[in-house]
Each structure stands twice: as C-alpha cells, then as structure tokens.
Amino acid sequence: MDFFDTAPEAEFRAELRAWLAAHRPAPLPSDPEGRVEALGAWHRALAAAGYVGLAFPQAYGGRGLPPTFEAVLNDELGLGGFPPPPAIHHITNAIRLFGSDEQKARHLPSMLACTERWCQGFSEPNAGSDLASVRTRGTRGPGRDGAEIYTIDGQKIWTSEAIWSQWCLLLCRTEPDASAHRGLSMLLVPLDTPGVECRPIVTAGGSREFAEVFFAGAEVPAANLLGEPGQGWAIAMQLLGYERGPGDIGWVARLMRMLTLLEEDIRAGRVVTDESGRRQVARAWVTLEALRLHVARTLSSRLDGSLPGSEGSIDKLLVTEADQVLNHVIMDLRGASPLVADEAWLDAYFWSRAQSLFGGTQQVQRTIVAQRVLGLPR
C-alpha cells in the first residue's frame, strides 16, 4: 500500500504541472454554448499535449500508461482549478475492448485527439433504467449495392452531446428472436447518415446537452457492428463500468476544481462565511477526499489488468454524494451570486442532480451493490 507517486508518476506529474502552468485557459464563458466551445478547445489542447487517453496504447494516440496515471491527471487538473478532462473513456474503452483492428485504427486516434465527438445512444423513451427493453431496431440485409448493411429505425433520448457529435455508439435490437438481453448489438453510426435527426433537449441548467435522436431507415455498413451480433448488452455493461468510474471519466477533477475555487475565494475574502459555513466546506472536502482516495484505490485495483466490475457502482454512489454535498455548500455559501449573476454555478447545481440519474440512477446503482456486491437475493 503506497500512496506516493512511483518515479514515472512523479515525472509525469511534474511534466503535467509545468504544461498546465504554461497553458491556463481563459475563464470559461458562462453561456452554455460558449462553454461547450471553450471546453472543446481545452480538450483538444490537452489531447495535443498527450494528456488524453493515458492508459491507451501508443499506437492509437494514447500513452500506454497504467490506470493510476488517470488519478494523477484528475489531481492536477482539480487542485490547480483547471477545467476537467473530456468525459470520453466509457466510449473509447468500449471500442478498445470490443473493436476490430480496423475500427480501433479508424476511431481511437480521432477520439483521443478530441477532434471527433461521440455520443452514446442507449436510453429510449420506454427504456431508461430498464435498458434491456431497447426497441430501436437494426435490421441486417443487403443494401442497394448488394453489400451487407444495418437499417436502423427507432428513437433514442437523453443522448448527451448528440448535437455536437459526429458519431453515435448505438445500442439497438438486431436479433428480434433472441431474448431481451441477447438480442442487442452495438453499432457505430455516423450522425450525418441520411435518416438520422437530432433534436436538442434543453436541460434545467439551460444547456442543449441532451438530445432526442431519431432513426428512420438510416443505413450503415454491417462493418460498423462493434463486436459480435448479440454482444450489445455485454458491451453496454462494460461501458457503464467505465462511465461509473469517477477517475476514468474526469469527475474527480471536475469536483475538486469547484471546491478548490470555493476554498480560494474564502481564503481571499471574496466569499465570506461564518463558522458553520466553514464546517460545511470542510465536510464537503472530507466527502470529496474520500471519493478521491477511493478512486485511487479502484484504479490501483486495475493495475493487474482487470476491468471495472459491479463494485464500480460504489464509486458512482460516492461521486453522487460528493457532487450533491458540494453543490449544496456552493449554493449556500455563494449566496445570491448563482441566482442573480453567475449562471454557471446554477448549471453546476442542476448537474449535481443529474449525477444521480445518468449512467444508471442512484437507485439502480444501489440495487447493483445490494445484489452483486453484497449478494442479497434478487
């Protein structure tokens, strides 16, 4: 048990810190569209400097480093008050683990460079927590030129970042005769395919983060199948394992940044509070620190090459708690500012409410922990 950096981690940390010091971005704009654009530029800059995809093979633009380096990245971004890294590693890992050599070579470099964005087409109006009841169909058959294709019909919802994305990782039903879970496959779908339409859903915080995505006879080559026919559920579960990892997805950095900024504003006298407020900040730090340490432990448990499993739901529950505790404190201590001046804080507050919904609701996570970690009967 050693929480110290290894020599390569220390070297990486120093190099990263020097790079960050020289590349601090301008404060993010507070309007949602401007933020998306500024964050995109930040992510491309991080990627160009080699800080995206640390654990990915160098052949695909990664660094080939152990998973614990993601903890170092989260630390340095969060403690330095830098914007978080791109939340892409649920999708990148799905392609790394299940993609063909051609698919990996085609997609991973542009994903890790943050030049192509992906969204995740999972939820449907009637398939939320009950994901296995997905109805969107991918029908396989010969296309007009005789080559094998999938023809997609159906609708997705809550598709994050769809309107800014070029590609969608689509969970759909391709084997109508198989049972619910076994009938699903994963397709790689370009969003400019004829028959695909994205309609933004404005979030409670005012951002066009979500979308409905409609598929009406959209055709993709059969070569765009990820993994095997019927493997969609297994891929989705592995993907969710990464999406629930607050270190993999950058949430630790995101929350540490918000706390770092609050603490700095208190130290500098820009936010004034009493002893009770100071204790609330300390409580938020204790909660967030427990998350950060737990995530470092989780990443260490993968040093032997193992993949995220059911116990990752504990990490998701911890990040949910930390996010929501922290945003209560921020809203309380920043007083009127989030309500009359700086809408970014209000957006962050609503995000903290989404934290207990996306990637599987807090209730779904608790059911997973109860049944698969504690072994309670189904």
Partner 1 sequence: MDIRLSDEQRMLIDIATRLGTDLAPSGVAGLAAATRSAGDAAGWSSLVETGLIALHVPAERGGGGGRTVDVALVAEQLAAALVPVPYVGAAVWAPTLLAAAGAADAVEAVAAGSLRLAPVLRPDLGGLARLGEPGIAFDTQGADAGLLLDADGTPHAIAMAASDSASHEGGSGRGGVAVVSADLTRSVRVVPADAPVADLPVRLGGPLDGDARTRADAVVLAILAADLLGVMGRALDDAVAYVGQREQFGVPVGSFQAVQHLAAHAATLVEGARSSMWHAAWAADELPADAALLAARQAKAFCAAAARDVGETAIQLLGGIGLTWEHLAHVRQRRILLARRVLGDEQAQYAAIAAARLTPRSAAAPHASAAPHGAGQARGETHPAPVGSI
Residues designated catalytic: 243
CA distance 92 to 106: 12
8 Å CB contact between 70 and 247? yes
Count of residues that interact with partner 1, criterion CB under 8 A: 78
CA distance 166 to 352: 27
For position 143 contacting partner 1 by CB under 8 A, the verdict is: no
For position 318 contacting partner 1 by CB under 8 A, the verdict is: yes
Directed axis angle between helix 312-333 and helix 343-354, to 10°? 150
For position 210 contacting partner 1 by CB under 8 A, the verdict is: no
Among 258, 325, 329, 354, binds partner 1 (CB under 8 A): 258
CA distance 375 to 378: 9
For position 282 contacting partner 1 by CB under 8 A, the verdict is: yes
For position 378 contacting partner 1 by CB under 8 A, the verdict is: yes
- Shortest reach from residue 11's CB to partner 1, in Å: 10
- Shortest reach from residue 308's CB to partner 1, in Å: 14
- Residues from 13 through 32 that contact partner 1 (CB under 8 A): 13-14, 17, 20-21, 27-28, 30
- Shortest reach from residue 342's CB to partner 1, in Å: 6
238 token code pair: 């592995």
- Shortest reach from residue 196's CB to partner 1, in Å: 33
CA distance 167 to 107: 10
CA distance 49 to 57: 16
Among 4, 101, 176, 177, binds partner 1 (CB under 8 A): 4
Bridge partners, residue 127, by sequence: 124
- Residues from 58 through 77 that contact partner 1 (CB under 8 A): 68, 71-72, 75
For position 336 contacting partner 1 by CB under 8 A, the verdict is: no
Nearest residue to 235 via CA among 64, 74, 92: 92
* Cβ-based neighbours of 174, under 8 Å, separated by 6 or more: 137, 138, 139, 140, 150, 183, 184, 185, 229, 230, 232
Nearest residue to 67 via CA among 53, 78, 86, 79: 53
- Residues from 74 through 133 that contact partner 1 (CB under 8 A): 75, 79-82
For position 175 contacting partner 1 by CB under 8 A, the verdict is: no
Q: Which phi and psi angles does 304 have, rounded to 5°?
A: -85, 10
Among 198, 292, 352, 355, binds partner 1 (CB under 8 A): 292
3-state secondary structure of 199: strand
Directed axis angle between helix 7-22 and helix 69-79, to 10°? 30
Among 126, 133, 179, 363, binds partner 1 (CB under 8 A): 363
* Cβ-based neighbours of 307, under 8 Å, separated by 6 or more: 97, 238, 241
Among 281, 325, 326, 354, binds partner 1 (CB under 8 A): 281
For position 144 contacting partner 1 by CB under 8 A, the verdict is: no
CA distance 107 to 93: 11
By C-beta, is 146 or 375 nearer to partner 1?
375
For position 267 contacting partner 1 by CB under 8 A, the verdict is: yes
For position 286 contacting partner 1 by CB under 8 A, the verdict is: yes
- Shortest reach from residue 164's CB to partner 1, in Å: 20
Among 153, 212, 263, 332, binds partner 1 (CB under 8 A): 263
By C-beta, is 30 or 155 nearer to partner 1?
30
Among 348, 352, 356, 359, binds partner 1 (CB under 8 A): 348
By C-beta, is 119 or 295 nearer to partner 1?
295
By C-beta, is 45 or 314 nearer to partner 1?
314
3-state secondary structure of 170: strand
Among 257, 308, 329, 356, binds partner 1 (CB under 8 A): 257
